[in-house]
Amino acid sequence: MHNPLSYPKSSLSFFSPPLTMTRQSKPWRPFTANCCSAEDQTIFRNFSRCRPSRSEFSKNIAPLPSFRKLSYSDLSRSSSTRINEDLAQSFGSELYDFQLSELRAITQNFSSNFLLGEGGFGTVHKGYVDENLRQGLKAQAVAVKLLDIEGLQGHREWLAEVIFLGQLRHPHLVKLIGYCCEDEERLLVYEFMPRGSLENHLFKRISISLPWGTRVKIAIGAAKGLAFLHGAEQPVIYRDFKTSNVLLDSDFTAKLSDFGLAKMGPEGSNTHVTTRVMGTYGYAAPEYVSTGHLTTKSDVYSFGVVLLELVTGRRSMDKSRAKSEQNLVDWAKPYLSSSRRLRCIMDPRLAGQYSVKGAKEMALLALQCISLNPKDRPRMPAVVEGLERLQHYKDMAVTCGQWPASPKSTRNGISTKSKMGSARVNGNHRKSSPITPTRKT
């Protein structure tokens, strides 16, 4: 049956869990299947200490509720009734406590016709609520995430999303509307993001290529979301920043989603948080992978990888390519500091319709973000400022004679043709056929 929604079932366009370190095939699964360790069981205590700073990126946070000590270990051992009571007391009217029967009704019993996507965590369905469902809840489309709870880890990630998104409010964070905890069932209800994920727009053959200006806008929005998280008095480390977790509304406003792996940052004189390595291979910072030391600069590295994906149109990891090209960071690094070389790795689907100056500055910013030394990476507010400067450049490569009409030959995926310029046919620029990335298998 044809799916009336614009989201392909083959890949999750709403919330995707982390891939394994060793493969990128479905079903998506976390790095580790172990239950959370003792140090993870206390990360939710005294969450009210995460207060907004005076940074401009924290202006839009909602007033934080007055919390009891929400202990993950305590809630994990509690019945669903006790969990609901604790969450209701903590969040009050900030979040709706839905009944499973209500969520079945708004999704037509989780009909396959309303399926937005699926992965190792379970499924996400589109639903419709009207103003009569709950007092104060406006009629709208929603996304209902039905978690496949297998042991403690699934419950932990559900609880993390409720606690983090229940308190954090910002234009560039997806809005959590409510939750459901009945017996063994764990569900989350979010605002519906009609344009799906950045991943789908960059890498799916069926999608129209994102214009350069839209890519810049998305990068700015995502950067503001991270800057907001990092700007709290006790920073929130996102830990799984990637294209599938950047969602887009109808105006291509970027919003960060999936806070199941988010973690509170270091306190006091501590410089990092030591934790199990979890995230997505290809995006995770190398020092975090090797040591388990997590900082906000780990998020900055991941953001740099996504900037490279926006520039090149390639995935962070692509096993279908030649071995030397599978890791995007390793492959792209030699081309980022030279304008002449950079044009060789620009996304062919842009067809020259990108700012030469803007692409150069974005590439240099990405290079700083993926520095092997975390101290050399910029902070997210500086990244936001750097990206905002790119919005007004109009020097399109195709009109500046810096886009090839067609490549004669390639070596390692790079055009070896040096002649630039474009021929005109019927008043239009002739360009090579767009090269679409290989679909993830």
What are the structural domain ranges in the chain? 40-191, 198-429
343 sits in the region (left: phi over 0; alpha: psi -120 to 50; else beta) called alpha
pTM of the model: 0.75
CA distances from 29 to 148, 187, 305 (A): 11, 18, 21
For residue 404, the SS3 value is coil
Angle in degrees, 0-180, between the axes of helices 296-312 and 356-369, rounded to the nearest 10? 150
CB 123 within 8 A of CB 188: no
Residues 6+ apart with CB under 8 A from 324: 330, 331, 412
Q: Print pLDDT tens along the chain (441 aa).
A: 443 333 333 333 333 334 334 333 333 332 222 333 333 333 333 333 333 333 333 344 333 333 333 444 444 445 677 777 777 666 666 789 999 999 999 999 999 899 998 765 678 999 999 888 888 889 999 999 988 766 456 788 888 888 888 888 899 999 999 999 888 889 999 999 999 999 999 998 777 889 999 999 999 999 999 999 999 777 899 999 999 999 999 999 999 998 888 888 776 556 677 677 777 889 999 999 999 889 999 999 999 999 999 999 999 999 999 999 999 999 999 999 998 899 999 999 999 999 999 999 999 999 999 999 999 999 999 999 999 999 989 889 888 777 765 444 444 444 444 333 333 333 444 333 333 334 443
φ, ψ of residue 135 in degrees (nearest 5): -60, 130
Q: Is 240 a catalytic residue?
A: yes
Tokens of 168: 């954090």
Q: Which of 40, 86, 240, 258 is catalytic?
A: 240
Q: Do the two domains 40-191 and 198-429 of this chain adopt the same fold?
A: no
> What is the CATH class of 40-191?
alpha beta
Yes or no: domain 198-429 corresponds to CATH 3.50.50.60: no
